[in-house]
Amino acid sequence: LASAQSKQNVPPGLPAFPVIGSAISLVSEYGDIPTHMREMYRGNYKKFMKAGQGVYTMGLPGLGDGLTSKVYVVSNPHEFLPVIQNEGKHPSGVLEALWPASERLKRRRDSNALFERGEAWKQERNVVQLNLLSPQIAKGYLPGIVEAARLASRGAAHSAHAFDEYAARVSFDLFNSAFFGRLAKTADLTRKDADPRDVKFCQDTLDGFEYLVPVVLSPLERLLVQGLNLSTKRFDAFCSKFDDAQDRCAEIVDDFIARKQRGELDEREMRSYVSKTLEWYEQEARDISFDQVKNIFFILLTAAVDTTSSIINWSMINLALNPDVQEKLRAEIQQHLQESDVASIILKRREEVPYLHAFIRETHRLTPSAPVNLLKNTNKALTIYGYEIPAGSKVLLDSYSMGNDAALVEQPEKFLPERFLPDMVEMRKGTAAEMIDHPLCSGPFSAGARKCPGSRVATFEAMAMIITLLNDWKIELNDPSVNTYEDVGTHYGAILQPKPMPKLKFSELR
Per-residue pLDDT of the chain (510 residues; tens, 9 = 90+): 333 333 468 899 999 999 999 999 999 999 999 999 999 999 999 999 999 999 999 999 989 999 999 999 999 999 999 999 988 888 988 899 999 999 999 999 999 999 999 999 999 999 999 999 899 999 999 999 999 999 999 999 999 999 999 999 999 999 999 999 999 999 999 998 999 999 999 999 999 999 999 999 999 999 999 999 999 999 999 999 999 999 999 999 999 999 999 999 999 999 999 999 999 999 987 789 999 999 999 999 999 898 899 999 999 999 999 999 999 999 999 999 999 999 999 999 999 999 999 999 999 999 999 988 899 999 899 999 999 999 999 999 999 999 999 999 999 999 999 999 999 999 999 999 999 999 999 999 999 989 999 999 999 999 999 999 999 999 999 999 999 999 999 999 889 999 999 999 999 997
| Distance separating alpha carbons of residues 269 and 179, to the nearest angstrom | 9
| Distance separating alpha carbons of residues 251 and 245, to the nearest angstrom | 10
- Beta-carbon contacts of residue 6 (< 8 Å; ≥ 6 apart): none
What is the reported pTM? Answer: 0.96
| Distance separating alpha carbons of residues 3 and 5, to the nearest angstrom | 5
**What integer pLDDT is reported at residue 482 of this predicted model?**
97
The torsion angles phi and psi of 74, rounded to 5 degrees, stand at -125, 160
**What integer pLDDT is reported at residue 476 of this predicted model?**
98
Containing 14, the helix (H) or strand (E) segment is none
**What integer pLDDT is reported at residue 4 of this predicted model?**
34
Q: Do residues 22 and 59 touch, judged by C-beta distance below 8 A? A: yes
| Distance separating alpha carbons of residues 373 and 199, to the nearest angstrom | 29
Sign of CA dihedral 54, 59, 62, 65: positive
**Which residues is 507 bridged to in the sheet?**
474
**What integer pLDDT is reported at residue 8 of this predicted model?**
60
**Which residues is 74 bridged to in the sheet?**
55, 397
**What integer pLDDT is reported at residue 285 of this predicted model?**
73
Q: Which of 117, 100, 132, 110 is nearest to 246 (CA)?
A: 110
